[in-house]
Structure 1
Amino acid sequence: MHPAPDLAADLAAAPASRRQTMALFGLLGFSAGLPYYMFSTVLAARLTKHDVDLVLIGFFGWVQLLPTFKWTWAPLVDRFAIPGFSRFWGKRLGWIMLAQLGIVASMVAMAFTASDASLPLTALFAVLLAFWTTTLEVAADAWRIELGPTPETQGPLAAANLWGYRSAMVASGSGALIVADHASWTAAYLVIAAAAALALPLLATLKRDASGTGERWVAIGTGLVASAAILAAGVLLTAVVGWAVLAAAQAIGISAKTNATRAVLVIGLLPFVLLAAALPRIRRLHPDAPLRTSSLVAPYVDIFWRFGYAALPVLAFVSFYRMGDVLTLALSKPLEIAAGYDLTTMGVADGVIALPSSMVGVALGAWLAVKLRLPVALAIGAATSAVGNWIFVWLWYAAPSAFVIYSATALDQFAHGLEGAIFVVYLSMLVNPRWPAAQYAFLSGFAFLLPRLIAGAGGNIQRAIGWDGFFWLSGGLSLAAVLFLPVIARLRPREDAA
């Protein structure tokens, strides 16, 4: 990789009209949402059907922790460009195209290991799929924030992005389950991989200047060679790190019988303790201090310098706000299978029912974020999300029927679409425009750290309190986010006098 071109190249690749820009971010949301269920909900259903222990299935939920740490490589997306792709299409779109290739390759690999005969191999390709999906989100989020710096401009873009994202999630989840039921899990993953590949030619047509066809093909060829090298390096690095992690886990005796709940809670609290200890020093930093000028750490230091101790309740709020969404995603499919539903019925619910419900929720959430004060909109989102979780308690006790699963799915998707749209706007308004990719990656990643840690221990929790207790708890944790609203509603970031 080489130093990134300036913002002009990114703007040249952006559509000229507002409608075209919304369509672009709808496509980017679709591209990021399509693979998400394939390493989360669909993978949980696949492992359940292969009789993998529920506690181990919960551990696979920790694959979703990878997006939580996207801030660790987000500065690379801001600082570097992909040879060929970025020179012609701009920095943001260059990374997006690389990530899309990584998504397709990882999904094909998951297709040909769909027997789950080797769980470490299944985990390897699930982690790679999560990594490239997250990288696409980092680049797309940075581009979205650059093009929409105010709530009025950000609301429509966030809605378009989430429409695409959530429609792809439910479409891939639905399609994969139905194909798996009538063909095989290998076929299911190949079908979704083919759908993901369709975005590449559409993205390659973006660019408004009059560059010749020859230059475009040179850019594509150079980009493909560079991408192949980067993807191969990613596989090797992930395999080495994964082997080390599994060896360490075996050495300390972690297995399906391990109760990880206490460790998860300690790990979840640790960042708050460390940040509280570091804040006094951060607040005293001068504008020219190395920690505020380094391209690697300055974006993150800036968050805590601007918000000070108020950053702690902000981070606590965002940690609880999406709790219900994440925990539902982790165990909803094992619950439905345990309740007696077949994959086709679940797939129809995730497609025909979930898609329109989610779209209505996203549209309403974006409208509320623009029309109401954000704290009020956030409170509505938290309450709606809680109800979306509690509906699964009814599903568990009700006799299996199409009406029950369709109703539960519709409310769940509506609720989490609504809260998700409001949440995206809120996080975008916290970001300093100087570092959109890094800061949004950190805030959105931190928001899912505690929920995904708890989701990984979901099998242990379900075993202790049952299916009904699990979903009562997850909804209650989402609702608890409103306790922080009186504090964050008064939050005003500090301005740099320099």
Structure 2
Amino acid sequence: MASQAQGSSASAGQVVPRGLGRQALYVLLGFSAGLPFYMFSTVLSLRLQAHEVGLVVIGFFAWVQLLPTFKFLWAPLLDRYEIPGFGRFWGKRRGWIMLAQLGIFVSMAVMGLTSSDANLGITALFAVLLAFWTTTLEIAADAWRIELAPTQEEQGPLAAANLWGYRTAMVAAGSGALLVADQPGWGWTGAYLAIAAVAFLPFPLLAAMRPDPDHGGSRSGALLTGLGASGLILGVLIAVVAAVGWLLLGAASGIGISGQTNVTPYVLVICMLPFLAMAAALPKIRTLPPTAPARRSVALGPYVDFFWRYGFMALALMAFVSIYRMGDVLALNLSKPMIRGLGYSLTEIGLADSYVALVSSIVGVGLGGWMAARWRQGWTLAIGAGFAALGNFGFVWLAHQPVDGMALYIATAADQFGNGMAGAVFVVYLSLLVNPRYPGAQYAFLSGFAFLLPRLLSGAGGSIVEAFDRAGYRGFDLFFLLSGLLSLAALLFLPLITRARARPADDPA
């Protein structure tokens, strides 16, 4: 595996020029991944609200965002296998990216054509598929980034470029979709189809790139074979996800779980099982020799390696990453319904999410990437957490202001600046925890776990707000206040996790 990783890194370096060329590539890849994200999160929540879907059910839809938490289940496949056709000509990383973009286009187009939400099961199915392919794109792009930039100094600019593209696309999708949806004759169908078309634009650009140095052959033949294989993969996955969803809903109904049931404890237990199992096995993992099957396994080896390298410190690292991005994840799903409830129109929200959000996010990401490349990790993580929390507190402030565009712009700017800064710092931090021998799998494991608890709480966000309201409090106020305080709780871990050092490798290969 080590030799494979080194070879892949060398090839990647030949394909992609250094400096601005790499940064331009990662602006493009970040843009590709960021466009669909709002379409199965914030925009979808507003669409469901417009169709008079209850706040509790809207909260349940936020659990679609839990899917990236489990990307470690299929991330090893991206490190090991190539996509037929695409991989033969463009290489492993670009082949997976091209497949993922096709999946994103198909899923978003179907969501557009079924935008009446008359059948919430269909909406949920393709929202899950959209989240899956968006996550797959991120896995492939992150693995390639870690191979291209293995040091802290190199990671800062590349992570910033990736987040610039990602957050620019999120703003374009969020504001653009709302502005289109608010136009007569377009509606939600036009919004989803328009974003699907834009999301597909990078595909022909990637297809036009030169082949991977270790691959070759006919470009047109590779493209046709890749499209055929992709169609088969997409069809099979639709059938599998539909069948699994049908079985899960049937099982839930059979044991008495309904739309009014508080399923958060059940979901939490299920989501935590793989991580708890790995933590329980930690004492045994620490004693495993390099020849042990668990360390050499394609499926388990990358994750066993993380616990083997960091030992019991791995538990502190996982606790820290699980709450660091708490504030902005919790705000993502409910901030727009709250703002809409204050009396702002879709057009006003869309305008705030365009220029104001874009400029604020770019500045935050750029400053965060600059700090991450030059300052000590403890300081940069602390500053990022502080500004992320301020973004949540800004929503509490907004709720007590008259409906006014300037107040909305200030709250949006604070939220996007803090999220951008914290995101850039956090990406660099996680990337440096990863063993370069397993870039895709280990980054997927850490970044997935980082959003498990926040997304679980986000899914229960509607229920939490309603519970606060019934208790006589202003539900949204208390929700955003607590979410900001949870982000600040990450500071308590900094004295411990900044001392974490990976165990030296005992396998010279």
Same fold (TM over 0.5): yes
The answer to whether residue 505 in structure 2 is matched with residue 488 in structure 1 is no
Structure 1 match to 2:194:
191
Q: Distance in 1 between matches of 2:436 and 2:212?
A: 26
Structure 1 match to 2:133:
132
Amino acid at match of 1:153: E
Alignment partner of 1:82: what SS? coil
Structure 2 match to 1:467:
476
Structure 2 match to 1:79:
80
Q: Distance in 2 between matches of 1:481 and 1:398?
A: 30
Structure 2 match to 1:423:
426
- Compared CA separation, residues 396 and 264, structure 1 to 2 (3 A): farther
1:284 to 287, 290, 309: 287
1:479 to 474, 483, 488: 488
Amino acid at match of 2:317: V
Amino acid at match of 1:224: L
Q: Deviations over 1:185-206 (max 9, x none)?
A: 0000000001011111111122
Alignment partner of 2:210: what SS? coil
Structure 2 matches for 1:203-352, cutoff 5 A? 203-207=206-210, 215-263=218-266, 273-352=276-355
Alignment partner of 2:312: what SS? helix
Amino acid at match of 1:333: K
Q: Deviations over 1:32-83 (max 9, x none)?
A: 0000000000000100111101010000000000011001000000110011
Structure 2 match to 1:26:
27
Q: Distance in 1 between matches of 2:61 and 2:412?
A: 23
Q: Distance in 1 between matches of 2:222 and 2:211?
A: 16
Q: Distance in 2 between matches of 1:210 and 1:485?
A: 43
Structure 1 match to 2:456:
453
Structure 1, unpaired ranges of 5+ = none
Quick check: 1:5–1:90 contact (8 Å CA) kept in 2? no
Quick check: 2:11–2:214 contact (8 Å CA) kept in 1? no
Structure 1 match to 2:147:
146
Quick check: 2:5–2:436 contact (8 Å CA) kept in 1? no
- Compared CA separation, residues 451 and 434, structure 1 to 2 (3 A): same
Quick check: 1:4–1:79 contact (8 Å CA) kept in 2? no
Structure 2 matches for 1:399-414, cutoff 5 A? 399-414=402-417
Q: Deviations over 1:250-281 (max 9, x none)?
A: 22333332234444565566566434421111
Q: Distance in 2 between matches of 1:381 and 1:148?
A: 22
Q: Deviations over 1:152-211 (max 9, x none)?
A: 011111000000000000110000011111121000000000101111111112226899
Structure 2 match to 1:376:
379
Amino acid at match of 1:118: N
- Identity across matched positions, percent: 62
Structure 2 match to 1:438:
441
Q: Distance in 2 between matches of 1:147 and 1:87?
A: 20
Quick check: 2:394–2:414 contact (8 Å CA) kept in 1? yes
Quick check: 2:90–2:212 contact (8 Å CA) kept in 1? no
Which segment drifts farther, 242-251 or 449-458? 242-251
Alignment partner of 1:51: what SS? coil
Q: Deviations over 1:465-484 (max 9, x none)?
A: 20001100111111101111
The answer to whether residue 121 in structure 2 is matched with residue 116 in structure 1 is no
Structure 1 match to 2:472:
none
Corresponding pairs, count = 496
Please tell me the root mean square deviation across aligned C-alpha atoms, in Å. Answer: 2.1
Q: Distance in 2 between matches of 1:212 and 1:431?
A: 27
Alignment partner of 2:182: what SS? helix
Structure 2, unpaired ranges of 5+ = 469-474
Structure 1 match to 2:12:
11
Amino acid at match of 1:441: A
Which segment drifts farther, 211-220 or 245-254? 211-220
Q: Distance in 2 between matches of 1:405 and 1:51?
A: 24
Quick check: 2:91–2:212 contact (8 Å CA) kept in 1? no
Q: Distance in 1 between matches of 2:224 and 2:238?
A: 21
Q: Distance in 2 between matches of 1:144 and 1:255?
A: 43
The answer to whether residue 203 in structure 2 is matched with residue 167 in structure 1 is no
Q: Distance in 2 between matches of 1:238 and 1:337?
A: 33
Amino acid at match of 2:500: L
Q: Shift in Å at residue 144 of structure 1?
A: 0.3
Q: Deviations over 1:445-478 (max 9, x none)?
A: 0000111111111111111220001100111111
Q: Distance in 2 between matches of 1:220 and 1:268?
A: 38
2:390 to 387, 391, 401: 387
Amino acid at match of 2:56: V
- Compared CA separation, residues 265 and 108, structure 1 to 2 (3 A): closer
Q: Distance in 1 between matches of 2:214 and 2:74?
A: 31
Amino acid at match of 2:285: I
Amino acid at match of 1:253: G
Structure 1 match to 2:51:
50
TM-score by length of 2: 0.94
Structure 1 match to 2:471:
none
Quick check: 2:342–2:403 contact (8 Å CA) kept in 1? yes
Amino acid at match of 2:313: A
Q: Deviations over 1:72-113 (max 9, x none)?
A: 000000110011111111100000000000000000000011
Q: Distance in 2 between matches of 1:200 and 1:267?
A: 36
- Compared CA separation, residues 309 and 17, structure 1 to 2 (3 A): closer
TM-score by length of 1: 0.96
Which segment drifts farther, 210-219 or 145-154? 210-219
